[in-house]
């Protein structure tokens, strides 16, 4: 059996949350500045950002396991491995991938049983939502547009390769770009107006302020989602992170997409 790691550096907030949920918080010696959940993560040594962590700081912590995530961190993985570091990298594209990531991390950390329990807990929550939103007629499934950024007429959004697309599906909605084989890309306002989504999802902590910014975007006043006030604001730490709270995120969105089924 491979040696169980005792000093772990997490280069992504979602990885950090998984580690803590598996009971490995005491073994986490380094995190990024974005790793703000759970509270215990804030007490760990910070190795800088997600895209540009300080590799010298990482190595100085003498980790026997480094957890990396997404294509953005692939170049970092190569650099760390060249310096003899043990790196475990993965990238999730669906909710099932997220559930499998719990087990994969559990395998490399000696927490296989805890990982299976975590997966079952999250699966149970997702299945409960599925019971509520099943058998929705095709014409009643709302089209969803995820706003990542909106500046000077260029709008960032997600496609079918992003796990969020699967989150919307499980919540009873459909990403208007679900058939686009990309994770993140940009479109123009004309394209958005033509597709005219039923619901807009945007990350933010202040619902009133975030909604106001969306509604006051030039040209957006004609969108159905704006006119009907179906702009859903959800914290970035829930919608942007493939973490163990994904079941709660799906439930929260399902209540927004289909409030009549959760009365």
CATH code for the domain of 213: 3.40.50.1980
Domain co-membership, 155 together with 113 = no
The answer to whether residues 163 and 235 belong to one domain is yes
Is residue 189 located within the same domain as residue 94?
A: no
| 3 falls within a domain | no
What percent of the chain shows pLDDT beyond 90? Answer: 96
What is the rounded CA–CA span in Å between residue 79 and residue 97? 26
Please write the tens of the pLDDT for every residue from 23-68: 999 999 999 999 999 999 999 999 999 999 999 999 999 999 999 9
**Is the separation of the CB atoms in 72 and 216 below 8 Å?**
no
CA-to-CA separations, 72 to 90, 173, 180, 219, 241, in angstroms, rounded: 11, 28, 20, 32, 14
pLDDT at res. 48? 93
Q: How many domains does the chain have?
A: 2
pLDDT of 1 reads 43
Does residue 180 register a pLDDT over 60? yes
Domain hosting 246: range is 135-261
Band of the pLDDT at 161, cuts 50, 70, 90?
Answer: very high
């Amino acid at each position: 059996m491979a040696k169980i790691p005792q000093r772990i550096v997490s280069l992504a907030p979602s990885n950090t949350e998984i580690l803590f949920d598996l009971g490995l918080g005491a073994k986490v010696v380094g995190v990024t500045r974005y790793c703000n959940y759970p509270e215990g993560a804030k007490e760990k040594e910070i190795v800088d950002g997600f895209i540009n962590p300080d590799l010298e700081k990482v190595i100085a912590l003498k980790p026997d396991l480094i957890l990396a995530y997404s294509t953005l961190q692939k170049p970092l993985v190569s650099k760390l491995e060249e310096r003899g570091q043990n790196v475990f990298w993965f990238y999730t594209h669906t909710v099932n991938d997220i559930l499998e990531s719990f087990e994969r991390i559990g395998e490399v950390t000696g927490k296989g049983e805890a990982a299976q329990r975590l997966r079952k807990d999250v699966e149970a929550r997702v299945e409960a939502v599925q019971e509520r939103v099943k058998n929705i007629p095709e014409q009643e499934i709302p089209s969803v547009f995820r706003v990542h950024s909106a500046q000077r007429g260029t709008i960032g959004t997600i496609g079918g390769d992003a796990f969020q697309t699967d989150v919307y599906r499980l919540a009873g909605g459909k990403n208007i770009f679900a058939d686009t084989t990309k994770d993140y890309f940009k479109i123009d306002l004309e394209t958005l107006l033509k597709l005219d989504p039923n619901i807009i999802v945007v990350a933010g902590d202040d619902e009133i302020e975030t909604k106001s910014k969306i509604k006051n975007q030039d040209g957006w006043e004609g969108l159905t989602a704006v006119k009907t006030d179906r702009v859903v604001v959800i914290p970035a730490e829930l919608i942007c992170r493939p973490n163990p709270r994904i079941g709660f995120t799906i439930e929260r969105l399902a209540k927004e997409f289909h409030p009549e089924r959760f009365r």
